[in-house]
Amino acid sequence: MNALELRAALALASVYVLRMMGLFMVMPVLAVAAMDYPDYSPLLVGLAVGGYGLTQAALQIPMGMMSDKWGRKPVILLGLSVFAIGSFVAANADSMAVMIVGRILQGAGAIAGAIMALATDVSRESQRAKVLAIIGIAIGFSFYLAVILGPLIANSYGLAGVFAITGVLALLCMPLVKWVVPNGEPLSSGDTLPQKGQLKHLVFSSQLWRLNVSVMILHMLITLLFVQLPTTLVNFNMTLESHWTVYLPVLGISIIGLIVMMGVARGRTPKFLLFTGVLLMGCAFLVLSVQSHSWWWVTAAVVLFFTGFNYLEANFPALVSSVAPAGQKGTAMGLYASFQFFGAFLGGVLSGLVTDWWTQDIAYAIGALSTLVWLLILAGIHEASRVKRVMMHATLNNLIAEDIEQQLLRVPGVLEVTVSRVNGAVYLKVDREFDAVKAREVLTGV
C-alpha cells in the first residue's frame, strides 16, 4: 500500500473502532445499569439492547445507495451526526422509553456501506483487499475492547456516562472523515454498493438466504446472551465493574479456539466447521439453561459461545462474497448487513419478552433450541471455494455483451461474468488460475 492508502485504511478503521465501540459498550452493562430507571422491565431492556438494530437494518441499504448520489463523506458525516444525537439523547434519558429512542437514533446512523465504498474509492484494486482487511480487523477489535471497557466506564460514570462517551467518540470521528481520509473518485460498482434492481433476485437466492438467516440468528443469539449474562454474573455477587475479569480471559481463550478452527479450515470454510460453530453455541445455551447457578459452568459456556461466534462471524462474510453473483456483491452484502442488524433487534425483543413472561433459564433454553433450527437451515448450504473478484472496463459500442461473456468464460480461471451495459463495467469471479492478460485481450478486441 502507498502512503495515501495506508492513511485511508487507518483513518477509516479508526472511525469504525470509535463508532462500533460506542454501540457495543452498552451491551455488557445495560441489563444491570437499567435497573435504576423507574420504568425498568426486562422487555424494555431487550428493546434498549437491540433497538439500534431495527433502524440499522432498515437504513443500511438506502444509506449505501444515497452515498452514490450525495457522495461518501456527506453521508458518513450525516450518519455520525445522527448517531451522536442518539447517544446524547440516551445519555440524558430519565426513563427507559427515552433511552430506547436514543438507541433507535443511534442505529439510524447506518454508514457501514458508505465507509466500505469510500475505502474502495481511495484504494487501487491491487491493494483494496488489504485496506478492507484492516477495517475488518478493526471491527472485531472494537467489539472486544468495548466488552471489556463498558463495565469499567459504567462503574465510574454510570450508564449515562457510557452513552455520553459514545457521543463524543462519534464527534471525534468527524474530523477524521473530513480532513484525514483522502477524497477518492467515486466508483459506482455493483461489487461495492447495493443496486436496487438486484434485491429481489438475491433475497430468494437458495444459498444467500440461508447465509442471511444464519447471520440473523447469530446476532439474535449474541444479543439474547448480553441481555441475560450480566444479571447472571450479578447473581454471583459480582459487581458490574468486575465483569471484565470474566470477559477478558473468556475472549482470550475463545480467540485461541478460533485460531485452532481456522487452522483446521486451511483457508476454506468446511461445512462441518460451520456445524461445529453452531453446536458450540447451542451447547453454551444448553449449559446456561441448566447450570446458571454455577460460576464455573457459566464461564465454560461463555467460552464455548464465543469460540463458535467468533468463527462464524469471521467466515460468513467470506461465504457471502464467494456465493454472490459477479457484480452483485454490494447488494448481497447490503442484504446480509440488514439481516445481521435485524437479528440484534430480534434477540433483544425475544429475550426481553421471554424473561418478562417466564424466567432467565427459559430464555437460555430458547437460545439452545434456536440452534437446532439453525442447523436445519445450514444443512442446505453448499461448500464454496474462496474466489477473487475483478472489475474491468470495456467499450460496448462495437462488442456485444453476450459475446464478451462467452469469450471471457473461456479464459482460464474465469468462473462467472456479468457485463453492465450502463457503465461498461465487466465483473468477474475468478480463481487462482485467472489469466488477466487474456481477459484484457478479450475486452480490447485484440
Q: If you ran DSSP here, which 8-state letter would residue 399 be given?
A: S
CB 110 within 8 A of CB 79: yes
The residue assigned the cell 461448500 is 383
In this predicted structure, what is the pLDDT of residue 397?
57
Instruction: Measure the CA–CA gap between 301 and 298, rounded to whole angstroms.
Output: 5
Pair (434, 373) in one structural domain:
no
Choose the most confident range, by mean pLDDT, from 89-98, 105-114, 319-328, 410-419.
89-98
Pair (298, 379) in one structural domain:
yes
CB 14 within 8 A of CB 154: no
Contacts for 298 with CB less than 8 Å, ≥ 6 apart: 232, 233, 236, 287, 288, 291, 292
Pair (301, 334) in one structural domain:
yes
> Of 384, 410, 425, which residue is a domain's last?
384
Pair (255, 294) in one structural domain:
yes
Pair (306, 405) in one structural domain:
no
Pair (369, 438) in one structural domain:
no
Residue 421 has pLDDT above 80, yes or no: no
Pair (376, 240) in one structural domain:
yes
CA distances from 331 to 52, 156, 191, 271 (A): 21, 42, 8, 24
Pair (62, 177) in one structural domain:
yes
> Of 359, 384, 409, which residue is a domain's last?
384
Percent of the chain surpassing pLDDT 90:
61
Q: How confident is the model at residue 446 (pLDDT cuts 50, 70, 90)?
A: very low
Alpha helices per DSSP H over 122-198: 128-175
58-111 pLDDT, tens digit each: 999 999 889 888 989 999 999 999 999 999 999 999 999 999 999 999 999 999
Neighbour-count burial of 66, counting CB atoms closer than 10 A to its CB (0-12 exposed, 13-18 middle, 19+ buried): buried
CB 101 within 8 A of CB 89: yes
CATH code of the domain covering residue 78: 1.20.1250.20
Structural domain harbouring 321: 194-384
Q: Which helix (DSSP H) or strand (DSSP E) does residue 388 occupy? A: strand 388-393
Percent of the chain surpassing pLDDT 70:
96
Residue type, 204: F
CB 336 within 8 A of CB 215: yes
Residue 422 has pLDDT above 70, yes or no: no
CB 289 within 8 A of CB 229: no
Residue 187, number of CB atoms within 10 A of its CB: 18
CB 429 within 8 A of CB 415: yes
327-362 pLDDT, tens digit each: 888 899 999 999 999 999 999 999 999 999 999 999
pTM over 0.85, yes/no: yes
Pair (89, 237) in one structural domain:
no
Q: What's the total number of domains in the chain?
A: 3
First to last CA, the chain: 31
In this predicted structure, what is the pLDDT of residue 391?
82
Residue 398 has pLDDT above 70, yes or no: no
Q: How confident is the model at residue 17 (pLDDT cuts 50, 70, 90)?
A: confident
Pair (343, 421) in one structural domain:
no
Please give the distance of CA 101 from its chain centroid, rounded to a whole number: 22
Taking each helix axis as running N to C, give the angle between helix 42-70 and helix 72-91, from 0 to 180 degrees, rounded to the nearest 10: 160
Residue 399 has pLDDT above 70, yes or no: no
CB 55 within 8 A of CB 104: yes
**Of residues 113, 118, 133, 139, the one with CA closest to residue 334:** 113
CB 370 within 8 A of CB 378: no
Pair (231, 178) in one structural domain:
no
Instruction: Measure the CA–CA gap between 105 and 90, rounded to whole angstroms.
Output: 9
Phi, psi of 388 (to 5 degrees): -110, 145
CB 115 within 8 A of CB 12: yes
> Of 384, 401, 419, which residue is a domain's last?
384
Instruction: Measure the CA–CA gap between 47 and 42, rounded to whole angstroms.
Output: 9
| Partners of residue 390 on adjacent β-strands | 428
CATH code of the domain covering residue 393: 3.30.70.100
CA distances from 435 to 207, 392, 395, 403, 414 (A): 28, 13, 20, 18, 8
In this predicted structure, what is the pLDDT of residue 187?
64
CB 72 within 8 A of CB 117: yes
In this predicted structure, what is the pLDDT of residue 22?
80
Pair (127, 239) in one structural domain:
no
What mean pLDDT value characterizes the chain? 90
